[in-house]
Every structure is written in C-alpha cells, then in structure tokens.
C-alpha cells in the first residue's frame, strides 16, 4: 500500500522537529503536525524563557555587587512588563525559526492536532493522512497537586505570562523548576517561600550538592519549608493562602505548583493505534524507541526516562538516522550532563556519591570555597566541586559542581567523561589561572572513601 508519507511526526517540539528535519535530509517524505507552538515546551514555556528570567534576576545582584569593585551603583527598580515583552519577542522569533527550518528541508507542515484513526492512518485537523512510519513526540505538561483549592494556583506554563510581578510567592516542590523559579522571583524582589516534602531540595542529585544548594537558597533570602506538605489553597481577596500540614499558613499573591509533569497522550487516539499507555500516561517503548506497533515510535517527554531537551533531541536525531540514514548516531545516553539554573547554578554528569557507593568503594574529592569575586562583594556565595572516582583504576565516575558558571564548566568535563577520563588525566592537565574551573584539575587530597562497608559485605 502506498502511503502519503514515509514518516509522519506528531509534535513540533525539540524531539519531533529534529527527527523530521534529519529524516527529510535523508530523502524521506515527511509530514509533521503541531497544534500549539513550534519548538515545544523548551522554547516556549520551558528552558529558554526560564533562563532569560534567570539572567534578568542576576542583573539586580550584579548592580549590588558592583559596589564592592568601586562602582557607585544602586539596585534599580525592575520593570516586569518590559522583561516579559522582551521575552515574548525572542520566543516568537525562535518559534518561527523552528517552523522555517522544517520548510527549508521540504517537510510538510500542519498547524493542527493529529490523532490516530488506525495504526497507519491519522486525522490531522480535518484531513485523513497515512504514513508508513509514525513518531509520537507530543511532550508533557505540568500538573497541580490534588488538594483542595489547587485550581487557585499556577503552574510553570502560567509563570511566563503573569500580568504583574508578585510581591509574595509560595512555590511548592523542590525539583528543577521549583528551585529555578525560587531564584528568579527572589532575585527580582519577591518574598519567596519554597515548600517541599524532602529534607533537602533536588531529590536524586548528589547529597553534597543538595546540602550546599539549601544553604545557598537560604542565603538568598528564600524561606525554606522542608519536610512540609500543602493541605490546601484558599482565597483572601485577590491573594492566596497556602495551608501546610505543620499548621503554618502562608499569605501570598501567587501559589506556584512545581510538582511534576505528565505525558501529553490524551486525545491521541492511542487505542485506535493499538497502543496502551502506562498508568502515568507515558508511552512504553523499547531501546530502539519502538512501541508495541513496530512502525510507531515515541521519543522525548511522552515516554518514561530522562526528560531533558538535549536527550529528546538526540533521540530524534538517532531515530531518523536509524530509519532513513546510515544507522543511529552513537550518542552517550549513559552519562548525560545536566544543569539546574538555580542561584547559584548546579551542573553534574555521571554518578552521585550514593550511586557509586552502592556499587562498591568510591574515592571522593571535594572542595568548597568562596569565589574570588565575592571576597570583594561580601556576598555569601560559595562554590562546591566534587569528583567521584573508581579505585583502583582511577576512572572518574561523576563530576558535580554548584557555583557560578557551573553549566559552562561541566559541559566541557562531560566530554572528558564520555572519553573515559581518569583522575590521573585530570591531575596532569594544566589549569587556567585564576579560574574556578582550575580547581577540578588541582584536587589532590582524598576527602573520603565511600561504600567501603558495602564492599565488605
């Protein structure tokens, strides 16, 4: 049977656009449908606008810190409306670019919702189309807690379009989104509360990083409420009141739920395609990203796994190469670097101390210091750097950093990790002085050995 397309992609985010573009460059007849905005969550209501807001918050701190270097500066008033307007212009430009690069390589673009009518047939808007292969790349969306009054709060999508800067905000959660927006709103002058169930923020990250981040958040006047659960939200005039299980009530302008995301699978017609999602709504796939239907694939945040934009993009690229090109590109999905644009930021690649210790002995090299600039500014801001090393070979298992420029520094070290660098390779590398980054190649003193008791067992 002849099909309208060799490949049809449902979803115009980072994963879908990359898959469609690469497949088209390999000569495939490709169609793609997107019903909301080109570029998906990351470009429109995720990592890109969020980092712009992080940078906006940093400028206020720069103005204060400049006094330590002899500048007679005062922290100016911030114009939230001007920031959001500038952000909107840049996001509109980027979203337009995503569509244009598809059209440049001959992809048929549909601004419509797509759903399955059968395993090979799709209803795209009002038009029925068939495809030999189909990729589902519809991403995910944020969710609120199921507590009374949750509808009175916002989620991350809403935060980018607030009509005014809140004077008081309570953020529920302690993952990437929660700690990043806590830094944004505190940096722009809001009274900021961070409410979370765990004793420390960023569950799953290295424990030293988590402890150092909690200290840094408190130093930036973010009011922490660890080991605390929200019970409900009520209205107080135009404001909101967040009720906590410890009996505390927080009077705020905005309650912000940063409490997780779920896959966008509702309305896709998965039953008609013969696909059953998991209990959480995600689409199950094998290592080749195939669903139970061998011609239907799913990539990115609509599946279970590491929900990071570069991972989704790499999955899309590798899948298009596998289907229409010379074979899958060999990305390193085992050691994925990631960053949290908190204040200060975190970056990490490889195993945490806890993960390494679970396998056996692990050598830990750790340093904690005040960056040079803050010896003059007087700001309480420390940098933490950590290497997790496997004895006796000395292979570096994990690199972790909290501090200014951490994402830029660790991206380079991720290349070394992918190449299998050892601690000896770090030690014989000459540092750039004076930088914070040179500390990674001058860590000589072993801090401790983790996992010894487990190895003895």
Q: Is the pLDDT assigned to residue 118 strictly greater than 50?
A: yes
Task: Determine the Cα–Cα distance for residues 387 and 443; give it in Å rounded to an integer.
Answer: 9
Asked if residues 102 and 21 have their Cβ atoms less than 8 Å apart, the reply is: yes
**Domains identified in the chain and CATH numbers:** 5-141+262-324 (3.50.50.60), 150-259 (3.50.50.60), 344-445 (3.30.390.30)
Q: Is the pLDDT assigned to residue 1 strictly greater than 80?
A: no
Asked if residues 203 and 73 have their Cβ atoms less than 8 Å apart, the reply is: no
- Average pLDDT of span 266-275: 97
**CB hemisphere CA count around 366 (13 angstroms):** 17
Task: Determine the Cα–Cα distance for residues 145 and 172; give it in Å rounded to an integer.
Answer: 9
Q: Is the pLDDT assigned to residue 457 strictly greater than 60?
A: no
Asked if residues 240 and 255 have their Cβ atoms less than 8 Å apart, the reply is: yes
pTM for the full predicted model: 0.95
pLDDT at 318: 96
Q: Is the dihedral of CA 109, 110, 116, 120 positive or negative?
A: negative
Q: Is the pLDDT assigned to residue 454 strictly greater than 80?
A: no
Q: 3-class SS at 323?
A: helix
Mean pLDDT over the full length of the chain: 96
271-323 per-position pLDDT tens digit: 999 999 999 899 999 999 999 999 999 999 999 988 999 999 999 999 999 99
Q: Is the pLDDT assigned to residue 452 strictly greater than 80?
A: no
Tokens standing for residue 70: 């002899």
Total length of the chain: 457
Q: Is the pLDDT assigned to residue 337 strictly greater than 90?
A: yes
Percent of the chain with pLDDT over 70: 99
Catalytic residue from among 26, 229, 243, 433: 433
Q: Is the pLDDT assigned to residue 381 strictly greater than 70?
A: yes
Fill in the DSSP letter of residue 284.
P
Q: Which residue has the higher pLDDT, 453 or 195?
A: 195
Is the peptide bond preceding residue 434 cis, with omega within 30 degrees of 0?
yes
pLDDT at 75: 82
Q: Is 374 a catalytic residue?
A: no
417-435 per-position pLDDT tens digit: 999 999 999 999 999 999 9
pLDDT interval class at 329 (50, 70, 90): confident
Q: Is the pLDDT assigned to residue 74 strictly greater than 90?
A: no
Q: Is the pLDDT assigned to residue 412 strictly greater than 90?
A: yes
pLDDT at 76: 82
pLDDT interval class at 334 (50, 70, 90): confident
pLDDT interval class at 456 (50, 70, 90): very low
Task: Determine the Cα–Cα distance for residues 404 and 410; give it in Å rounded to an integer.
Answer: 11
Asked if residues 248 and 225 have their Cβ atoms less than 8 Å apart, the reply is: yes
Asked if residues 168 and 251 have their Cβ atoms less than 8 Å apart, the reply is: yes
Residue whose tokens read 């509109």: 92
Q: Is the pLDDT assigned to residue 357 strictly greater than 70?
A: yes
**Residue 323 class from Cβ within 10 Å (0-12 exposed, 13-18 middle, 19+ buried)?**
buried
Q: Is the dihedral of CA 5, 6, 10, 15 positive or negative?
A: negative
Burial 277-303 (b: 16+ CB within 10 A, else e): beeeebbebeeebebebeebbbbbbbb
Q: Is the pLDDT assigned to residue 453 strictly greater than 70?
A: no
Q: Is the pLDDT assigned to residue 455 strictly greater than 90?
A: no
DSSP per position, 384-440: EEEEEEETTTTEEEEEEEESTTHHHHHHHHHHHHHTT-BHHHHHTSPPPSS-SGGGG
pLDDT at 73: 82
């Amino acid at each position: 049977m002849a099909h309208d397309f060799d490949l049809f992609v449902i979803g115009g985010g980072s994963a879908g656009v990359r898959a469609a573009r690469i497949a088209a460059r390999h000569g495939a007849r490709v169609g793609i449908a997107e019903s909301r905005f080109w570029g998906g969550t990351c470009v429109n209501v995720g990592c890109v606008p969020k980092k712009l807001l992080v940078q906006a918050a940093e400028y206020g701190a720069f103005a204060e810190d400049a006094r330590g270097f002899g500048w007679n500066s005062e922290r100016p008033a911030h114009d939230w409306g001007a920031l959001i307007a500038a952000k909107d212009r840049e996001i509109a430009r980027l979203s337009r670019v995503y569509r244009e690069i598809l059209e440049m390589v001959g992809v048929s673009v549909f601004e419509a919702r797509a759903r399955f009518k059968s395993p090979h047939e799709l209803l795209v808007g009002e038009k029925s189309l068939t495809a030999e292969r189909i990729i589902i790349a519809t991403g995910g969306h944020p969710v609120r807690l199921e507590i009374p009054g949750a509808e009175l709060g916002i989620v991350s999508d809403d935060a980018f379009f607030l009509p005014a800067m809140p004077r008081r905000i309570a953020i529920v959660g302690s993952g990437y989104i929660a700690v990043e927006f806590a830094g944004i709103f505190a940096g722009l002058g809001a009274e900021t509360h961070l409410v979370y169930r765990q004793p420390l923020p960023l569950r799953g990250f290295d424990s030293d990083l988590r402890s150092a981040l909690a200290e840094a958040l408190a130093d930036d006047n973010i009011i922490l409420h660890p080991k605390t659960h929200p019970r409900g939200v009520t209205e107080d005039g135009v404001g909101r009141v967040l009720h906590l299980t410890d009996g505390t009530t927080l009077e705020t302008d905005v309650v912000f739920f940063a409490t997780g995301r779920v896959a966008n699978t509702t309305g896709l017609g998965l039953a008609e395609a013969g696909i059953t999602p998991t209990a959480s709504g995600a689409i199950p796939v094998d290592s080749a990203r195939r669903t139970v239907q061998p011609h239907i694939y799913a990539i990115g945040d609509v599946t279970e796994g590491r929900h990071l934009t570069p991972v989704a993009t790499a999955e899309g690229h590798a899948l298009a190469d596998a289907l229409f090109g010379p074979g899958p590109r060999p990305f390193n999905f085992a050691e994925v670097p990631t960053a949290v644009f908190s204040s200060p930021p975190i970056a990490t690649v490889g195993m945490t101390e806890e993960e390494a210790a679970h396998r056996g002995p692990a050598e830990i090299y750790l340093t904690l210091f005040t960056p040079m600039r803050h010896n003059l500014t007087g700001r309480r801001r420390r940098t933490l750097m950590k290497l997790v090393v496997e004895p006796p070979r000395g292979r570096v298992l994990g690199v972790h950093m909290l501090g200014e420029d951490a994402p830029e520094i660790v991206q380079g070290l991720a290349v070394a990790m992918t190449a299998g660098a050892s601690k000896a390779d770090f030690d014989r590398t000459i540092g750039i002085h004076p930088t914070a980054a040179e500390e990674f190649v001058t860590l000589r003193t072993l801090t401790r050995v983790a996992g010894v008791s487990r190895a003895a067992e």
